Structure 1
């Protein structure tokens, strides 16, 4: 993605935080005609030895798993909070609107889990359950092995090893004259705007007098 230096973060902790807080990702492959193909899906992040791996699955009728089998390299994107920014946050009129956002993009190599390996797929599903509704784990166990295996046959699970990643924090860092007014607007706004205000505080963009 387009990544000016003043918006780039090299901190893996920041990238991991964004991927965990906003796990509904876009997996982008190339189809058999050479065109991009996207699936929107939740992914579970695993960190080990400084490396990232993403776990997920698609429905068996979804052709994307066949793309991954034929061409394992793919792109994954995560979009964090985002919001419009009015030019009213600037002290002068010669300005234009913009859109602020946080995002992580990764280049990945896929490994499909053996479609007969129900245990591996079950572990993957339990990781996703743990992310989003831990209490559902008992209900899943109570469905019984036969019913579980029937459902597991309906998905194709995969591991995505993250070969490289980019983290973009676009928050008008290069326009210091906008920070105080932008923070005030975001702090009183929508959930996404309030989240961006929190990130402004995390990045030390907010003057001390604004935080008091």
Structure 2
């Protein structure tokens, strides 16, 4: 069994080596590019449960963890594009992914936005094929760990900034004052980090390859749905230039 596992990992190790040599980009057909950088910023802000992806060893393979990610608070207002911004995130320090993280390592953060299945019945033409409309942002950057034993206040700042960002946007502006001491007690188990964003790719696949009449039929079908996610896709389609 051990020999089989080694043979299986050998080509995978070569793949990881290739990945480390070159920068991999999200494939985005021209039709599906975002109209401007604010679309990617908005998607990341409205869909902050992201996936952090990093390379592990040849034996471990890649790591991927779902976690909350926010923009570092700024007095300059909302950014107009992702490159040049700083993201804040945290995970459980018991997660093996945390132990694999190193300062200065390249990372990928994937944000997934509204998406929905498109049935060929909407096209009113034949032959046709089904598809899936979706939106996604891939963010590349450099990670910096925040060690609670050396910078406890910085870790607490990430926790409170995350609560503040999510309560103002998704919650009810809950007052965390009475819970700060509780945050301090659980803080040693929290692995916080910063990511300096170097580049980002976005894909907004919203039936742009179809003629305007067909796109409107797809949009209308989403508007008539009872699904909130379908309504979000329809709203993005309406915003397309």
Q: TM-score, normalised by structure 1?
A: 0.87
Alpha-carbon distance in 2 for matches of 1:121, 1:74: 20
1 or 2, which has the higher strand percentage? 1
Q: Distance in 1 between matches of 2:104 and 2:33?
A: 29
Q: Is 1:19 paired with 2:44?
A: yes
Give the 3 Å change call, closer, same or farther, for CA 48–195 of structure 1 in structure 2: closer
In the alignment, structure 1 residue 197 sits paired with structure 2 residue 231: no
Determine the C-alpha separation between the residues in 1 that align with 2:40 and 2:217: 27
1:40 to 44, 58, 66: 66
Distance 1:48 1:67 in 2: 30
For the pair 1:103 / 2:142, whether they are aligned, the reply is no
- Find the aligned partners of 1:199 and 1:108 in 2 and give their Cα distance: 27
Partner of residue 90, structure 1: 123
Q: 1:17 to 1:49 in 2, by over 3 A?
A: closer
1:112 aligns with 2:149: no
Deviates more, 1:44-53 or 1:56-65: 44-53
* 1:182 matches 2:221: no
User: Which consecutive residues of structure 1, in runs of 5 or more, have no partner in the other structure?
Assistant: 205-212
Structure 1 residues 62, 115: closer, same or farther in 2, change over 3 A? same
Q: Is the 8 A contact 1:129 1:136 kept in 2?
A: no
The aligned counterpart of 2:194 is 159
What RMSD in Å do the two structures reach over aligned CA positions? 1.9
Gaps of 5+ in 2: 1-25, 73-77, 168-172
TM-score, structure 2 normalization? 0.77
**Tell me, what secondary structure is at the counterpart of 1:163?**
strand
Is 74-83 or 2-11 further displaced after alignment?
A: 2-11
